[in-house]
Amino acid sequence: MDYIKGIAFDLYGTLFDVHSVVGRCDEAFPGRGREISALWRQKQLEYTWLRSLMNRYVNFQQATEDALRFTCRHLGLDLDARTRSTLCDAYLRLAPFSEVPDSLRELKRRGLKLAILSNGSPQSIDAVVSHAGLRDGFDHLLSVDPVQVYKPDNRVYELAEQALGLDRSAILFVSSNAWDATGARYFGFPTCWINRTGNVFEEMGQTPDWEVTSLRAVVELFETAAGKAEKG
């Protein structure tokens, strides 16, 4: 792995658990939290893809709010302004997956440049990462906002290359979203898919270079490679 000099991480669903909003949804609509969270996430993604294709970008906070409105209307739930605001704010305080803080420190300690490359707005990314106390671990927080289009458009992946000042072949892209990992691999990043929940990969003509079950396993990839290099 010594050709890898930097890592670009997806944020939502990869480092942070988007379904950590289930509790908040359940408080607002008892017994419906899981259902709301699942459809909300699905629609949030669809709106980023569709708006990109229509060339009608709105930022991620807006797309997230729109998706919540749709979700509640679809489920026949009355969403007042206060609840909407509470639930959208929950997206700014997502919880990181448990192994994430320690694993990021390990990767940083190895001298790798670390970047977030996210659909989020600059404000959302900063809020989520800062709330978890992880802001200092990253060299770059990269939002799609400057290019006004969402993943998996190549213009987004290019942002990481530019910011890290590295060729794409030297940047490991890490995502739990199989469609994002597919886009990254077509772009030319060596790509690791974190598959925490036993999903199957997308059928779009790519497979990830590595498939692991947690970020801890990404650290181990580097440790194993370093161990081999020492022995060799």
Residues lying near a copy of itself in the complex (CB under 8 A) are found at 46-47, 49-56, 58, 66-67, 69-70, 73-74, 150-154, 179, 182-183, 186, 199-200, 202-205
Identify the active-site residue in 2, 10, 26, 180: 10
**Shortest distance, position 205 Cβ to a copy of itself, whole Å:** 7
**Shortest distance, position 125 Cβ to a copy of itself, whole Å:** 21
Residue 41 labelled as part of a binding site: yes
Residue with Cβ nearer a copy of itself (43 or 113): 43
SS (H, E, C) the chain: CCCCCEEEECCECCCEEHHHHHHHHHHHCCCCHHHHHHHHHHHHHHHHHHHHHHCCCCCHHHHHHHHHHHHHHHCCCCCCHHHHHHHHHHCCCCEECCCHHHHHHHHHHCCCEEEEEECCCHHHHHHHHHHCCCHHHCCEEEECHHHCCCCCCHHHHHHHHHHHCCCHHHEEEEECCHHHHHHHHHHCCCEEEECCCCCCCCCCCCCCCEEECCHHHHHHHHHHHHHHHHHC
Residue with Cβ nearer a copy of itself (17 or 180): 180
Residue 159 labelled as part of a binding site: no
Q: Is 145 a catalytic residue?
A: no
Residue with Cβ nearer a copy of itself (130 or 206): 206
- Residues annotated within the binding site for an (S)-2-haloacid are 11-12, 41, 118-119
